[in-house]
Amino acid sequence: GCDLLMSNPQKPNTFPGTHRYCAEIWLHKQAQKEGWSKAAKLQGRKTKEGLIGLLQEGNTTVLVEVNCETDFVSRNLKFQQLVQQVALGTMMHCQSLKDQLSTYSKGFLNSSELSGLPAGPDREGSLKDQLALAIGKLGENMTLKRAAWVKVPSGFYVGSYVHGAMQSPSLHNLVLGKYGALVICETSEQKTNLEDIGRRLGQHVVGMAPLSVGSLDDEPGGEAETKMLSQPYLLDPSITLGQYVQPQGVSVVDFVRFECGEGEEAAETE
C-alpha cells in the first residue's frame, strides 16, 4: 500500500504514477489534519460575515449560507468555492429525495445536517471535511450555517433574487451575495416574463422582509405589515404587492429569505 511505498521508495514501481498518487493522498491527509486542528483552535470565534449562495438546476433551487469572520475572507475564491460545494452538496441531497411532486416541496437543513452531507462526486468525505480544509487554508473560523431547498412540478415557478450578486466564475450558475430570496409561484400558463416577475418578487422579499404570504383580502396596515401580499410593493409603493401580482396571472404561495449573519445578531442580543 501507500505506507509501504512511502517508507521504501527503492521498491520497483509496478504502477507508474503510484508514488505521485500516494503523495497526493498523503498531502491531502496532512491538509485535512491541519485543517481540523486549526478549526478546533478557532472554534467559538464569531462568524458574522460570509455569503449566501443560490443554485438552480431544473426544477430544484437551493439557497445556502456559509459564514466566516471577515468580509475580506468572504471575497476569497477558496471561500467561494466552499459555498459552491455546499450548494452542490445540498442540490445532490435534494435531487436524491424521491418525492412524487403534485405540489411544491420545501425543506431546510441546519448546520449539523449540512456538515454530514457528502461533499460531491469529485471530493472525498463530507462537507464538514471541506469546511476544515478551507479553515486550514484561510485561517478563519467558518460555519456551514443552513440551507433551504425547493422543488416544483409544472404549473409552479421559483422566482429568485440575490442582493449584491456576484457570479461564481468556475460554476456559472451559482450566484453569491449577502441576501437571497426564493419565491414560489403558481401559474396557470407558461409566461415569457416569469423570470422577470420572479426576480421582482424576490427583490420585494429581500427588501421588505415579510414574515408570511398572507392573502389578497388582507387589509393593508397594522398587523398586515409583515404579510407579503398586503405590503406596499417595493418597486411601486403606491400599490400593494398583491395588486402587482394579481393582473400577472401569478399567485404567490410561499417564499424563503436568507440574510447573511442574521442569526448571529439575534443570538447576541438575547
Which strand (E) or helix (H) includes residue 216?
none
Flag whether pLDDT at 213 surpasses 80.
yes
- Mean pLDDT, residues 85-106: 90
Return d(Cα 178, Cα 48) in angstroms, integer: 11
Q: Give me the pLDDT at residue 186, please.
A: 94
| Three-state SS at 254 | strand
The pTM score is 0.86
72-76, 186-190, 244-248: segment of lowest average pLDDT: 186-190
Which carries the bigger pLDDT value, residue 16 or residue 97? 97
Flag whether pLDDT at 252 surpasses 90.
yes
Q: Give me the pLDDT at residue 148, please.
A: 98
Return d(Cα 3, Cα 1) in angstroms, integer: 6
Flag whether pLDDT at 3 surpasses 50.
no
Q: Give me the pLDDT at residue 227, please.
A: 95
User: Each residue of 19-53: pLDDT tens digit?
Assistant: 777 877 887 888 888 888 898 999 989 999 999 99
How far is CA 49 from each of CA 16, 33, 263, rounded to the nearest angstrom? Answer: 46, 25, 11
Mean pLDDT of the chain: 87
Flag whether pLDDT at 63 surpasses 60.
yes
132-146, 160-174, 186-200: segment of lowest average pLDDT: 160-174
DSSP codes of every residue in 67-130 = EES-HHHHTSHHHHHHHHHHHHHHHHHHHHS----SS-EEEEE-HHHHHTSB--TTS-SBHHHH
Flag whether pLDDT at 71 surpasses 80.
yes
Q: Give me the pLDDT at residue 134, please.
A: 95
What's the pLDDT band for 265 if we cut at 50, 70, 90? low
Percent of the chain with pLDDT over 90: 64
Domains along the sequence of the chain with CATH: 43-259 (3.30.479.20)
User: Each residue of 158-179: pLDDT tens digit?
Assistant: 999 999 888 766 766 899 999 9
Flag whether pLDDT at 122 surpasses 60.
yes
